Structure 1
Amino acid sequence: MLNEKIKSLRKQRGFTQEELAIRLNVVRQTISKWEKGLSVPDAEMLIKIADFFEVTTSELLGGSVQSSANETEQNEISQQLARINEQLAIKNRRSRIIWKVILGIIIAVVVFNIFMIVISMVSFNNFNDSLNTTITQTYEETIPIE
């Protein structure tokens, strides 16, 4: 919706992301995030973008507002921005949950491996100590005393 509109307007006007970013005083990555739908511009930036492309903010958001009343247009814009922000928040929340689960699994595997190494070292040391004790006892028994 908004991301596609920004991208199509930019391409229609023949601008690169870098050129648009310079004209709007943002970094190129910001333009890229807008066009990919990973973030949305705030209301002030939305107005700047609409002015730059010489379209109304409602056109930029993909809707058409029949009333020319400024307040009605602002309400529509804020509602659409709120919906977009909510969708992004849900998407980001899901992404964070997935990464937390992956991180938890990795930590569990590492802790399990460390635990197994400690157990094997303790077992090896116990076996080694018992082997040394047996050899010492056997050695003492076979020495002839004169």
Structure 2
Amino acid sequence: MEGFGQRLANLREKSGYSKKDISIMLGFTANVFGTYEREERRPSLETIIKIADFFDVSLDYLIRGKEYQQRNQPLSYQLNQLVVRELLEKGIEHPYFLQKDKWKQLSQADIKELENHFEWVVKKAEMRDKKL
């Protein structure tokens, strides 16, 4: 976590608190936060989350030094490969939902209609399974 201690120091300085103040506010002993700033000690994941929440920053920023940026990839790239393989094994002959050029043609209303239809089909299948 290169630079982690420096990021902690910067956040603390911006907040106007001392290392001791932050240690106490986070429920640590008086000098713990300073050991994290000096990178003498590594905090647990739970502690990193607590620190991120305290300073209202993302874990990505705290650990890696950069904010998370969601990739704007088409739905076909976001689908898990295992799930896709399982769907294709079910016998889907024309998997249009994997073709990004098809998705580009759809409006937000079209996508919402697909979501609603999918939910309806799933509920119908659940009801059928309950009867069996």
* Greater fraction of residues in helix: 1
Please give the TM-score of this superposition, normalised by the length of structure 1.
Answer: 0.44
Please give the TM-score of this superposition, normalised by the length of structure 2.
Answer: 0.48
Larger radius of gyration between Structure 1 and Structure 2: 1
